[in-house]
Amino acid sequence: MDSPKASAARKALGFIKDGMVVGLGSGSTAALFIEMLGGKKLDVACVATSHDARAIAVRAGLCLAELDQVKGIDVAVDGADLVDPSRNLIKGMGGALAREKVVDYLAKKFVCVVDESKMKPDFRGIVPVEVIPFAASPVAREIAGEFGAKVSVRCGCGKCGPIVTDNGNWIIDAGFGKVANPGRLESGLQCIPGVVANGIFTRNRPVVVVGGKDRAKVLE
Ligand code: 5RP
């Protein structure tokens, strides 16, 4: 029997056809999808959104490409930390948000794979913000002062000090109460000098595949 994350990943396989360029998301649900995609032996080229996704894809025998080797992304399959009723997302608890945003927003179809625990009635919680280390202090002050968030620089496990992303940056975790307009907050955070990307995804509205025990439903 599939776990909820595995049933979402398995359902997402149905969106992938021979000849496609596939964006590979990061996190445990996307990892299950990558392993299953490898098992399908389809003729696809894959663009990974993190070192971790790339390593899983290599082990799964998938053919990898960089963004300058493909004309675009046909389908991106990626996880999320929160999905609201309008299918706005928070992503980035795995620290891969910047490359995820590039690939997920480029995709002609963005498929978001989650278990039911990620479906929330309100848009609220921790929004990861990737910053260049040079600007971490003023960015944190501005997010707290102008946007009213509780902020902290994310620190590592098995490492002293800030975690460093695949792009050599730091992450500020910004805690928000209920957000009425996630799209406006996404744009506002992005305007702060030194911000590389933020974990609010509102632009390329995804098809959301919600996994339950041995079954998954598709919201679009
Ligand atoms: C990584 C992400 C992940 O997609 C998100 O954290 C969900 O992960 P999981 O599938 O393990 O719950 O955004 O930066």
- Judgement on whether residues 133 and 71 belong to the same structural domain of the protein: no
The structure tokens listed for 58 are 């290599």
Query: Which of 100, 130, 142, 186 is flagged as catalytic?
Result: 100
pLDDT of residue 196: 98
- Judgement on whether residues 210 and 115 belong to the same structural domain of the protein: yes
* pLDDT by 10s per residue, the chain, length 220: 899 999 999 999 999 999 999 999 999 999 999 999 999 999 999 999 999 999 999 999 999 999 999 999 999 999 999 999 999 999 999 999 999 999 999 999 999 999 999 999 999 999 999 999 999 999 999 999 999 999 999 999 889 999 999 999 999 999 999 999 999 999 999 999 999 999 999 999 999 999 998 799 999 9
Decide: helix, strand or coil at residue 85.
coil
The structure tokens listed for 64 are 């990898």
**Cα–Cα distance measured from residue 201 to residue 16, given in angstroms and rounded to the nearest whole number:** 22
Does an H or E element contain 216, and which?
strand 215-219
- Judgement on whether residues 77 and 140 belong to the same structural domain of the protein: no
**Cα–Cα distance measured from residue 207 to residue 190, given in angstroms and rounded to the nearest whole number:** 24
pLDDT of residue 1: 86
- Judgement on whether residues 111 and 11 belong to the same structural domain of the protein: yes
Phi, psi of 106 (to 5 degrees): -75, -25
Print the domain residue range for 155.
125-200
Which parts of 45-203 are beta strand (E)?
45-48, 63-64, 73-78, 82-83, 89-90, 107-115, 125-131, 150-153, 170-176, 195-198, 200-201
Does 125 contact ligand 1 (Cβ within 6 A)?
Answer: no
Best residue for ligand 1 mutational test, from 3, 5, 7, 29 (most atoms within 8 Å of Cβ): 29
- Judgement on whether residues 83 and 136 belong to the same structural domain of the protein: no
pLDDT of residue 197: 98
| pTM metric for this prediction | 0.97
